[in-house]
Amino acid sequence: MKNDVNRQFRLKTRPTGRIEKSNFDFVDEPIPEPGKGEALIRVLYLSLDPTNRIWMSDMDQYMPPVEIGEVMRGGGIGVVVKSNSARYKEGAYVSGLTGWQDYCIADEGARAMSVLPDGLPVDLPVMLGACGMTGLTAYFGLLELGRPQPGETVLVSAAAGAVGSVVGQIAKIKGCRAVGIVGGPDKCRHIVEDLGFDAAVDYKAKDWREQLAAATPDGIDVNFENVGGEIMEAVMARMNLFSRMPLCGMISGYNTGDPAMRGDFSPILMRRINVRGFIVIDFMEKFAEGTMQLAQWVMEGKLKHRETIVDGLENAPVAVNRLFDGENIGKLVVKL
């Protein structure tokens, strides 16, 4: 990494389909000077998330889209290198919206970042994954909206990824049967043998619908939905009376713009399924509680985690496509 400039990815054009490097300008800017009440942060790790693709587009979304010419929005972890604020001590680690760049400014208002505690018991990338935003997404989406009861069947799609891998393991901690849908035999093996899921369904196999039926003999009580499209429709057809469906994501349509569902709402009516969309920030007030619990499970060995780490800020726009190609296991991060 160059230390004398601030390399930044600025959005040049909105992607149509896959994200291309040409959608960005990669520019060198001077390293910013922190003003009063501000701190200069050197970014160490970037979180790559499916929502980056949403932010690049101008579709209806939960935050304003990234403007053309603006630094690409992204979560990350950095270290305080210069500070004019009592909130940020030099050398402390912080997490928040760093953007796709080498340096950012944190303040005490709209651009405030969370200061991570000293002596973290886990490596920094885990604070972006199992103990970070994706872990919290799994935790609150499953427990507050899915409300799994012991003995129930919890199904999660994109089950080998950052959110899904945590959902299945929390389901097991809560005494449920955990079933994951993933692409390919390696991920099937991983979620069952390494993470302790009860069954896996390979949606890339010809007989995936039969696999789904065999893996859910008593139907599905909670569907933690990450994917949308025909996988979601097949799962909904197997959901039980008064079952719950936290709608977390619809990644199958982010590049294509395909609707999550083509029309059959009848399972929602006939089986009174409680479908509830959510964004993790809806639970912001409880983040500290969630983080403590996730960290405790990690320390106790009850919650396993994995990170796929890509080197170099310059690789972010290409690496983010791994999420759409299924080339990540666990949390995808860029190390700067």
What number of chain residues touch ligand NAP (CB under 6 A)?
30
- Distance between CA atoms of residues 293 and 161, nearest Å: 20
Is residue 323 involved in binding ligand NAP (CB under 6 A)?
yes
CB of 49 vs ligand NAP, minimal distance in Å: 5
Min separation Cβ 230 and ligand NAP, Å: 9
Q: Does 192 bind ligand NAP (CB under 6 A)?
A: no
- Considering beta carbons, is residue 220 or 323 the nearer one to ligand NAP? 323
Which of 52, 153, 216, 328 binds ligand NAP (CB under 6 A)? It is 328
Q: Using CB under 6 A, which of the segments 95-103, 120-128, 157-165, 311-319 binds ligand NAP?
A: 157-165
- Member of 11, 34, 49, 316 binding ligand NAP (CB under 6 A): 49
Using the rule CB under 6 A, is 280 a contact of ligand NAP? Answer: yes
Q: Minimum distance between the CB of residue 290 and ligand NAP, rounded to whole angstroms?
A: 13
Among 71, 142, 251, 316, binds ligand NAP (CB under 6 A): 251
Which x/- pattern over 217-246 shows residues binding ligand NAP (rule: CB under 6 A)?
A: ---------xx---x---------------
| Selected binder of ligand NAP within 15, 34, 50, 267 (CB under 6 A) | 50
- Interface with ligand NAP by CB under 6 A: which range of 33-41, 49-57, 88-96, 107-115? 49-57
Shortest separation between residue 286's beta carbon and ligand NAP, angstroms? 14
Mark the segment that binds ligand NAP (CB under 6 A) among 94-102, 148-156, 294-302, 326-334: 326-334
Question: What does the H/E/C string look like for the chain?
Answer: CCCCCEEEEEECCCCCCCCCHHHEEEEEECCCCCCCCCEEEEEEEEECCHHHHHHHCCCCCCCCCCCCCCECCCEEEEEEEEECCCCCCCCCEEEEECCCECEEEECCCCCCCEECCCCCCCCHHHHCCCCCHHHHHHHHHHHHHHCCCCCCEEEEECCCEHHHHHHHHHHHHCCCEEEEEECCHHHHHHHHHHCCCCEEEECCCCCHHHHHHHHCCCCEEEEEECCCHHHHHHHHCCEEEEEEEEECCCHHHCCCCCCCCCCCCHHHHHCCCEEEECCHHHHHHHHHHHHHHHHHHHHCCCCCCCEEEEECHHHHHHHCCHHHHCCCCEEEEEEC
Question: Which positions touch ligand NAP (CB under 6 A)?
Answer: 49-51, 134, 137, 158, 160-164, 182-183, 187, 226-227, 231, 248-252, 278-280, 323-324, 326, 328, 332
